[in-house]
Amino acid sequence: MILAVVLVWQVALAACVPLLTRRLGRDAGYPLAAGFLLTAALLLLRLPVILADGTAAVGWRWLPSLDVSVALRMDALALVFALLVLGVGALIMAYCPRYLGHDQAHTRTYLLLTLFATAMLGLVLANDLLVLFVFWELTSVLSFVLIGQGRPAAGPPAVRALLVTSGGGLALLAAVVVLTLDLGTSDVGRILAEPERLDSGAAWAAGALVLVAAFTKSAQLPFHFWLPGAMVAITPVSAYLHAATMVKAGIYLLMRFSALFGGHPG
């Protein structure tokens, strides 16, 4: 249940942003940073379980006819990336009050950064392929808005980033379809626990599609061209999205699904 609590807490933080900025202006970044650290502390309550090779999990039925659940699961890999998202997020929020000018759009910046952190958290904790895809696409959409806000010149780079990462999102969706049809489940834990059940042709296809999705998100060759232009965003946004979180989403995807293609020489 702690996983659901932390996501609800992050959404509540985002909902509180307008009130905080109305009262504190750009200094709203400080309580938001504290909120991020509290989220990390809640996750660390499960550290003894994780160190004992256990997991924390929770889920609710979403689409029973398709055997799809809103399922969250935290193992050691998910915890590492969640702490990266929250720890760097806290640093970015604490940096914003002295970076943002008094006349800048504090509410929009803090709101979007908090929602982006929530989407990244949902991505690394997702234990259902469809839920993972939804959060994956949310990070692309929120990054587009964050990159493009404020300056007219930021529009084209933001669109380019959205098109490339959304193209990778379509590859990920195709991988979701291949895996679900071949194995009859969208449960990530079940899929990765028994990769030998996957047909060899489906394994190659899903592995290739996951690689494309990861390469687009992480700006790897030949999909690297969107990243330099996206650095037109303000420094906190560039630091958080392109150094610490969104680019790491591709790395997380490769590590999470390495069981699909790790045993294939290609």
DSSP H or E stretch at residue 103: none
Residue 43: inside a domain: yes
Q: Which residue in 113, 120, 119 sits closest to 94, CA to CA?
A: 113
pLDDT higher than threshold 90 for residue 43: yes
Residue 36: inside a domain: yes
Q: 69 and 128 in contact (C-beta within 8 Å)?
A: yes
Residue 230: inside a domain: yes
**Which residue bears the tokens 């293609």?**
261
pLDDT higher than threshold 90 for residue 246: no
Residue 29: inside a domain: yes
pLDDT at 201: 79
Domain count, the chain: 1
Residue 100: inside a domain: yes
Q: Which domain holds residue 30?
A: 2-261
pLDDT higher than threshold 70 for residue 213: yes
CA distance 67 to 55: 21
CA distance 75 to 125: 9
pLDDT at 150: 65
Residue 182: inside a domain: yes
pLDDT at 202: 80
pTM: 0.92
Residue 138: inside a domain: yes
Residue 266: inside a domain: no
